[in-house]
A and B are shown apart, each in its own frame.
Chain A
């Protein structure tokens, strides 16, 4: 069991099987034991490991450990542990089993050393995670899950096509630096881009995550997008287009986040914004930028998980998730409120909280590498994220107007899970070296100097001042029950409607052609019947006598011609 080459996903898949077969506290113990044992095992892995396997004449590498994959390996074990603790009170085997397979698939994907293995886990991620959405068992969740699955599977198909094309052109399936050249690379890039929620490809995230179960979203927020970030960091570091894609990703979702009412959807938009920082860092591609990107991925899983957990707790207890229906919950959920504020401070990159020590690396790298325009966009997004995730989420859920809802604190397992995440957020924020020493490249960066701290505090406090002013002067848009159109409008409304219109136009033509054809066919049949039917000329029976007469006539003509010759 403790051999170094044991792939990290195997304990999770065994755990999923055991979770399916057991119930109650035994299941809880087994499920918690998996990430603990797996994490300890991963800690014992010393140096780089590669496991090779021959398949149909190709060398596959189902398990490859290096500094980059190891960091994500640690992260996913921590995230899985927290998410499992958070969901222990749930009495639903489907969610437990799907959660274990999902976490295992994420580990399988980050430790995949070849594109074929990556593809297998890529699709397993889609198939297992959709169960966490369908487990909500509402018509909306069913629809959102189906759209999510179609888009995720499409991403997998693109990855497979890209991998096979890559094999043809380069002769290798190895999952290393690919670079954006050639059709194969573009296909793979697009596959990663879908899972990474690139602009216009992002709506699966904002559509599906808010529809998942309160505990399911915590799992979802940890794995899929971070696997994609890892894949980009592995295959496309230093690809310049990523700088601009990332910058756009940081900016456009915050506008939607400000006017969105469903607080988990606000977090989903904010997630795209955070992934934008990572994508941008990967695009810049220097050691500092890539370090910043993966460090931010690490922190994002923790603070975004914490925020989704606090909102999950609110949803679990109140059954509501709209900012317009909530408010005043600090009175009955003070501990959850505190945890939410820790998550909010972390995502906003307050000094002493985790977001600060990683986001500032990407921003410094943008300036150092000569992207001042991008830097301004990132700065705008930093102020914006504080506005919509740092203030809006805690404010509308726990403060604002008193909705009159009185609940209790959530079950103890939920509080413990939030507590672990909150402690980690503060710990990494106060002792960044804990995280820095795990990063793929050597780190020569000090986040805590007077320049950084003062600049960040000014940015954040003046953002807060703006919020206070807008709110007090009544300029702040109220939370409204609404749907905001986004790129998904194309495939959820325009395409189906165009299809219906096309059908409406084609229907009369279709009817005309069918009617005409039917008339021709029936005319043909009646014509045939007239000539060949029982009364038809060609089917009439002739008396034998007349036949003999005609034969005799023919013979007479024949004889006549013979003599004339």
Chain B
């Protein structure tokens, strides 16, 4: 079954490839942000009119989510066998 071996290098073993992925992601994000100014949209709510609303919301939501969850760990995190042992 599971065994540890050294084998050939794969795609993401090279930091250059990881960098490429990140750069592509940034490129797509910039393009999508610009698209907001170009594409005419039919919106249901005034907030959607704000340029970059979805982009900013997505980014801020995720950063907040992760940072809050990290803080939450201070309150809720216990040892893995917390429920298995009586204290």
Give the B-binding residues of A (Cβ under 8 A). 140, 254-256, 258-259, 317-320, 330-331, 364, 367-368, 372, 375, 379-380, 383-384, 387, 399, 402, 404-407, 449-451, 454-470, 472, 475-477, 480-486, 492-493
Contact = CB atoms under 8 A, between A and B. Distances in A.
A475 B47 CA distance: 30
Contacts of B45: 367, 372, 375
B73 A477 contact: yes
B70 A259 contact: yes
Given A364-B44, A467-B62, A483-B82, A458 B36 contact: yes
Interface string B53-78: 01111110111011111101101111
A477 B1 contact: no
Contacts of A384: 61-62, 65
A467 B73 CA distance: 18
Contacts of B44: 364, 367-368
Contact of A481 (B11, B42, B80): B80
5 contacts: A255-B68, A256-B69, A364-B44, A450-B41, A483-B83
B43 A454 contact: no
Contact of B25 (A455, A464, A470, A485): A464
Given A461-B58, A462-B58, 16 more contacts: A258-B65, A259-B73, A384-B61, A387-B65, A405-B3, A406-B4, A458-B35, A461-B29, A466-B59, A466-B62, A468-B22, A477-B70, A481-B80, A483-B78, A483-B80, A484-B78
A449 B40 CA distance: 11
B66 to A, nearest CB: 5
Contact of B79 (A461, A469, A483): A483
Contacts of B82: 483, 485, 493
Interface residues of B, number: 56
Contacts of B56: 462
Contacts of A406: 2-5, 7
Contact of B76 (A379, A466, A468, A485): A485
Given A467-B62, A468-B22, A493-B83, A459 B55 contact: yes
B10 interface: yes
Contact of B32 (A368, A387, A454): A454
Given A387-B65, A387-B66, A472-B22, A465 B4 contact: no
Interface of B: 1-5, 7, 10-13, 22, 25-26, 28-29, 32-33, 35-36, 39-45, 47-48, 52, 54-59, 61-63, 65-70, 72-73, 75-84
A482 B83 CA distance: 11
Contacts of A461: 25, 28-29, 32, 55, 58
Interface centre among A256, A380, A480, A486, by most chain B C-beta atoms within 10 angstroms, is: A380
B66 A476 contact: yes
A405 B7 CA distance: 11
Contact of B66 (A379, A477, A481): A477
Given A140-B84, A319-B1, A454-B35, A462 B55 contact: yes
A318 B80 contact: no
Nearest to B41: A451
Contacts of B43: 451
B72 A259 contact: yes
Contact of B58 (A317, A368, A466): A466
Given A462-B56, A466-B62, A475-B67, A457 B1 contact: no
Contact of B54 (A372, A459, A469): A459
A463 B56 CA distance: 9
Given A330-B10, A450-B39, A455 B65 contact: no
A23 B36 CA distance: 60
Contact of A379 (B26, B41, B52, B61): B61
B36 to A, nearest CB: 7
A402 B10 CA distance: 11
Contact of A255 (B11, B42, B57, B69): B69
B2 A383 contact: no
Contacts of A375: 45
A380 B41 CA distance: 21
B2 A405 contact: yes
B48 to A, nearest CB: 7
Contact of A482 (B36, B47, B70, B77): B77
Nearest to A388: B65
Contact of A259 (B5, B57, B77, B81): B77
B41 A463 contact: no
Contact of B62 (A259, A368, A383): A383
A555 B43 CA distance: 122
Give the 4 A-B CB pairs with smallest separation, nearest first.
A466-B62, A462-B58, A258-B69, A458-B54
Contacts of A455: 41, 48, 54
B22 to A, nearest CB: 6
Contacts of B3: 405-406
A263 to B, nearest CB: 15
A317 B2 contact: yes
Contact of A380 (B13, B61, B73): B61
B76 A462 contact: no
A389 to B, nearest CB: 13
A454 to B, nearest CB: 6
B6 to A, nearest CB: 9
Nearest to A464: B25
Given A383-B57, A460-B58, A486-B76, A475 B66 contact: yes
B78 A485 contact: yes
Contact of A454 (B1, B25, B41): B41
B7 A331 contact: yes
